[in-house]
Structure 1
Amino acid sequence: MSLEFSGKVAVITGGGGVLCSTMATALAQKGAKIAVLDLKLENAEKVANDINGKGGNAIGVACNVLDIDSLKVAHATVSEKLGPCDILINGAGGNHPKGTTSKNHLFEEDLTGNEELKTFFDLDPEGIKFVFDLNFIGSLLPTQVFAKDMIGREGCTVINISSMNAFRPLTKIPAYSGAKAAISNFTQWLAVHFAKVGIRVNALAPGFFLTEQNRTLLTTADGSLTDRGNTIIAHTPMGRFGEAEDLTGTLLWLCGDGSKFITGVVIPIDGGFSAFSGV
């Protein structure tokens, strides 16, 4: 096991998910002690147990990233069992159906009172608020709680999770696109704010990765692509969806000394999606 991050403590919110659990495992393989934070304790402990079974050092902690008291309890647990936080990955996030339209475009005939059709005018403010809170506030609050550990210590970093939606808003999901744009902006703001105390802040902007949240949007029951899935692949020059392991090389670089003069950047990991004009 590499000791590149030996002695460092990495805290990963949303750590029970496919992408963040892979990040947790990658950091553990490089010697970091891992705190897997997730809303569901069983999900966090499953990832932690898997890491420990491979010779790593990890704990699973239940945590609600929208509840400051829950975060403080999680922080106390991490501090007691592993030590102060060196690396914070704000991985918790997601979308909500109430912040999503049914169709890509609005047509006049859509305004006929069809209850099954959700247009822009039918979007639920509470659903949109939930998406903004989960993605933006759910990154701001953990940073307030855990980044205090980093002040005055070398090699500390915060990694936020942005998205392709932050570069170009995707159809149907205005709330999620806006929330991820806020994450990119917040990453730059926080990088400047923390620069004098030695904390670097950067973000990953994943392209299209198949997860449980989007699988039914991109693939059918038999595994073939939906129309939306086909459109995405057609606009991804490398011609495939991302795999969780595609994130880890950039993650490890941003967390390590090789990027010690880099802060405030948002790096696309997208198979060329953000570079392609469509023609």
Structure 2
Amino acid sequence: MMDEFSLKDKVIVVTGGTGILGGSFVLAIAKAGARVVIIGRNKERLEEKKNEVEALGGEALAIQADVMQQEQLISARDQILSAYGKINGLVNAAGGNVPEALLKPEQDIFDLNIEATKKAMDLNLWGSIVPTHIFGASMLNTGGSIVNISSVSSKKVLTRVLGYSMGKSAIDTYTEWFGVEAATRHQGKIRVNSITPGFFLTEQNRRMLTNEDGSLTDRGEKIIRATPYGRFGKPEELNGALIYLLSDASKFVTGETITVDGGYTVYGGI
């Protein structure tokens, strides 16, 4: 049974691999036996994460690239195929809020920064679609699994983060659409699923949820009250769902999402 969850001999690409969640994914994938390709924009952080993998006894390839730049991703794909000859999986962990797109409490809804909102939506939607189409095509010979990262903001309305929420809602639709199309056109060789995290402290949301002294903001307190577990999630608590979706244990699963949110989306408040 455990062999089904192994990623041994697989090559898995993680975009946004230097972030809080993406970085946790990278280490979990390495521990599961895969050679992991870390993609991010910051060269120093890429090298740090690569060194972390190697300290665990794993193998990693760090590539500096922006998920919104097709040419950079094509170059990254060519480097991966040159190094390993195949790509077996992709985790689209790049994304997040754009500060300028956040609607401030003192602003009216009609003060929304439209261009920044478009940018936030594009990052969270096209920042997954573009890598999927570039790296996914390389999986046709070997087969593979693609994992997108959604958000509870696609299930319940969260104030202030319209662009982010629209991008993640579109990811849900894209995951279902691509899952069906890939299954019918390519005989199930490529599957795509997603993980819907609840609230985890990341670089993008930390200032919204906690104060400088570590105490909760009003928004953070509301979230904790609405989460039956009574706390934020820990990055490693997403890893079980991730390894399952990347491994052969989920080989008949496509177009689905696994929600890891401490009960947030199902809680009625009483």
Q: Provide the TM-score with structure 2 as the length reference.
A: 0.94
Q: Which residue of 2 aligns with 1:70?
A: 72
Q: Hey, which bits of structure 1, 4+ residues long, moved more than 4 A?
A: none
Partner of 2:131: 142
Distance 2:123 2:85 in 1: 26
Matched residues, number: 264
Structure 1 unaligned residues grouped into runs of 5+: 104-116
Q: Deviations over 1:79-101 (max 9, x none)?
A: 11233211100111011122221
- Structure 1: distance between partners of 2:113 and 2:175: 28
The residue type equivalent to 1:166 in the other structure is S
1:181 shift after superposition:
0.3
Q: Who is 1:42 aligned against?
A: 44
Q: Provide the rounded CA distance (Å) in 2 between the counterparts of 1:241 and 1:10.
A: 27
CA deviation vs aligned residue, 1:31-65 (integer Å, no higher than 9, x gap) = 10010000112222211111012100001100111
Q: CA deviation at 1:211?
A: 1.2
Who is 2:205 aligned against? 214
User: Post-superposition shift, 1:210?
Assistant: 0.7
Take 2:100 and 2:29, find their aligned partners in 1: how far apart are those partners?
35
> Corresponding residue for 1:110?
none
Distance (Å, rounded) in 2 between the aligned partners of 1:118 and 1:127: 15
Does the Cα contact within 8 Å between 2:66 and 2:73 map onto a contact in 1? yes
* Aligned match of 2:142: 153
What's the TM-score once normalised by structure 1's chain length?
Answer: 0.91
Distance in 2 (CA, whole Å) between partners of 1:195 and 1:186 is: 14
Residue 252 of structure 1, CA deviation: 0.6
**Identical amino acids, percent of aligned pairs:** 40
SS at match of 1:81: helix
The structure whose Rg is larger is 1
Equivalent position SS for 2:193: strand
Q: Secondary structure at the match of 1:193?
A: helix
Is contact 1:98–1:123 with CA below 8 Å preserved after alignment? no
Looking at structure 2, the residues matched to 189 and 265 of structure 1 have their Cα atoms a distance apart, in angstroms, of 10
- CA–CA distance in 1 between the matches of 2:71 and 2:248? 33
Structure 1, residues 159-188: CA drift from partner, whole Å, max 9, x if none? 000000010120111111111000111100
CA–CA distance in structure 2, aligned partners of residues 229 and 132 of structure 1: 23
Residue 100 of structure 1 corresponds to which residue in structure 2? 102
In 2, Cα distance between equivalents of 1:251 and 1:269 = 11
1:114-168 Cα offsets, whole Å, 9 max, x none, are xxx33221112210111111111111110111001111324x1000000000101
Instruction: Please list every run of 5 or more consecutive structure 2 residues that lacks an aligned counterpart in the other structure.
Output: none
DSSP 3-state at the match of 1:22: helix
